[in-house]
Amino acid sequence: MGAPVGRETRKEPRPGAFLNQEVSGRASDRHRGCRAAPGGPEPVRYRPVEPRPLTHPASRILDAPPVVLGLRARSQPGQPDLTLPAEQTPAVVGRASSCPVRVADPSVSREHALIDFRGGRWVVVDRGSRHGTFVNGVRLTPEVTTEITPGDSIAFGPCVFVVAGRTGRDRRLSTSDDRAETNATVRSFPVAPQVSLDSMRLALLLDAAETFSNVTDEGDLANTVCEVLTRGTGLPRAILLRPGTNEGEFEILGSAGCEAGETPTISRSLLRAACSGQVASLDRLPDLAGAVSAVNLGLRAAIGVPVTIGGTVDAVLYLDARGRESAAHEDSTTFASAVARLCALAFGGLRRTELERRQGDLVRELNAARDVQTRLLPAPEGAHGRVRYAIRAVPGRFVAGDFVTVAPLADERVAFVIGDVAGKGAGPGLLMASILSFIHGEFSAGRIDIERLADNLNRYVAQRAHPSEFATMWMGLLEPRDGKVSYIDAGHGYALLARAGARAEPIVCEGAMPLGVVPDQQFVSETITINPGDRIVLYSDGVAEQRNAEGEMFQAIRAAEAVAGPATPAKPDAERLLEALTRFAPSGGFADDVTVASIELLTE
């Protein structure tokens, strides 16, 4: 039996450089239950420091502004708005009480969808829900990642929300509350069924349908719709509006008959009725033409028509005449309703095209990041002198930032590293590539000092990473002649020592903060000694955090059980662990990148 799994620090650690068990749930979860191999010392707990709230290391320690997703309820009366901080993602949306984002509606599946913040983008993934997840009226394909941006409409079954934030358009208007105006009458009636129209309007509708189908920009479509409405209704002014995230605020998509830069004030009662799904009209009595109207603009007539996509009011067509302007033609509401239906079809087509573009961009970025990852990986199996290794790396549904390498040094020692950049997407993938390039450059220098290397790498990451990015890392340096392994654990925690003929045990460590969190952190190496036949097995968080169909995580205990027993070239630890994870995970692949590396010391 070899030396116990313990630690031998070479210099006094710098105060405050280590994680507190109550400070980082990520680190404490990984080391909970760690114990020494038989005969070894008790596990070392994190050095006590003053606890402070730290839910996301980079964003808190570097004082980065918090990233929060706001979803404003649009459909169900009494449905609360939703708020989701980026550090609490990925988060499941559903009606189950265990869901971080709970939508208590019987039509919403227990685990309906997944919302995540990856590479600076908010994305949503439908999890095979019964009634579907819709973005801008387009039903999402299950398990396909779709980006969401401010102004997007998201529906979980019948529950509709709009993503808060500015959309890039700067034309907005406010409404006035005219409920106290007794001389204004709002008449509401169901959306009119399609009826026969005179030849002029029919020709106008046919031309509009053809024109709408050829428009490729939402702004151009909105302006075209408004022009068609003014020609077909006789009303001189038309505006296409989308409800904003704040009460009484609307976004102007397009207009016709308005002066340049004009932001008219519109009756809130009229728009409220239209937003409820009804066509609404505001009529003023002739003897009150000079009185102060509901909008202080002397409205003579006004119409509000909903534009409904996927059963949800996406926008409102507003038309009016003021003062001495011409009144509406007969059956103007019927014509406006027909145009609204054509507008909804055209908007739906543009939304589908936009979603396909977003998904295509994501796929191209992810494929490029995966290509970079693949090129930087070492051979799946190999040997450097008396050190044999096996690596298995399987990309998940989303590109993450796993990195791994094994390299011989000029002094016959062998260095090996595994780590993970926080987040998913092309950004973390590219940061991973730069980290590996830095490590390879240091390894090529020959004889290295593992502590100096970690210090320099930490500063390198801190200088280049986004404020919300950081990286965990486990780096080891094996001396084959005496089996001594010097290592540094920078917030990673997933490391096992599998002694020949014995069960695998977590490697006890003092640990340090992840890379990039504290730029001037000084790392302290620790040591263990292994014997011929012993293996060090490292794996990424994609292994421990993979969930099965019931939502249960794989966890470290199953990883230790999977690598128990001797390792042979035909059946290395990495392959056994990957097979166990494949049996555990539901069909459809791994949710995160999965990386496993086994390092074995051979006999002379």
Per-residue pLDDT of 557-566, as tens digits, reads 999 999 887 7
- Residues 161, 166, 172, 177: is their CA dihedral positive or negative? positive
pLDDT at 528 over 90: yes
pLDDT at 32 over 60: no
Q: Per-residue pLDDT averaged across 91-120, rounded?
A: 89
What is the DSSP pairing of strand 266-267 with strand 172-176? parallel
74, 161 contact by CB (below 8 A): yes
Residue 369: pLDDT band (50, 70, 90) is low
How far apart CA 83 and CA 74 sit, in angstroms, is: 14
Q: Quick one: tokens of 230? A: 């003014």
Fold of 377-601: Phosphatase 2c; domain 1 (3.60.40)
pLDDT at 530 over 90: yes
> Which helix or strand (DSSP H or E) is residue 353 part of?
helix 332-376
pLDDT at residue 527 in the model: 95
Residue 505: pLDDT band (50, 70, 90) is very high
- The share of the chain scoring above pLDDT 90, in percent, equals 26
The pLDDT tens digits for 167-211 are 555 555 555 555 555 455 555 555 554 444 466 677 787 777 877
The pLDDT tens digits for 145-157 are 889 998 888 999 8
| Nearest to 567, CA basis, from 383, 376, 419 | 383
* Count of beta carbons in the 10 Å neighbourhood of residue 79: 17
How far apart CA 176 and CA 293 sit, in angstroms, is: 10
Q: Quick one: tokens of 236? A: 């001189």
pLDDT at residue 292 in the model: 40
| Three-state DSSP class for residue 352 | helix
Q: In one letter, which amino acid is 515?
A: L
pLDDT at residue 195 in the model: 45
pLDDT at 368 over 80: no
CATH of domain 68-164: 2.60.200.20
Arithmetic mean of pLDDT over the chain: 77
How far apart CA 418 and CA 422 sit, in angstroms, is: 13
For 406-451, give the DSSP string: EEE-TTS-EEEEEEEESS-SHHHHHHHHHHHHHHHHHHTTSS--HH
Q: Per-residue pLDDT averaged across 355-364, rounded?
A: 79
* Count of beta carbons in the 10 Å neighbourhood of residue 381: 15
The pLDDT tens digits for 220-258 are 899 999 999 988 888 888 999 988 777 777 888 988 888
pLDDT at 115 over 90: yes
CATH of domain 172-351: 3.30.450.40
- Residues 423, 424, 430, 434: is their CA dihedral positive or negative? positive
Domain boundaries, the chain: 68-164, 172-351, 377-601
> Which helix or strand (DSSP H or E) is residue 339 part of?
helix 332-376
Greater confidence (32 vs 360) lies with 360
pLDDT at residue 259 in the model: 73
The pLDDT tens digits for 277-287 are 888 887 543 33
The pLDDT tens digits for 287-339 are 333 334 444 556 778 889 999 887 788 899 999 887 777 766 777 888 889 99
pLDDT at residue 51 in the model: 31
pLDDT at residue 325 in the model: 72
How far apart CA 22 and CA 54 sit, in angstroms, is: 9
Buried b (16+ CB within 10 A) or exposed e, 141-170: eeeebbbbeebbbbbbbbbbbbbbeebeee
How far apart CA 155 and CA 314 sit, in angstroms, is: 12
pLDDT at 531 over 60: yes
Greater confidence (140 vs 195) lies with 140
Spell out where 58-191 has E strands.
68-73, 82-85, 91-94, 101-102, 113-118, 121-126, 133-135, 138-139, 146-148, 153-156, 159-163, 172-176, 185-189
Length of the chain measured in residues: 604
250, 172 contact by CB (below 8 A): yes
| Nearest to 451, CA basis, from 490, 493, 481, 414 | 490
pTM listed for this prediction:
0.53
Q: Per-residue pLDDT averaged across 423-443, rounded?
A: 80
pLDDT at residue 461 in the model: 92
Asked if domains 172-351 and 377-601 share a fold, the reply is no
- Residues 162, 118, 66, 83: is their CA dihedral positive or negative? positive
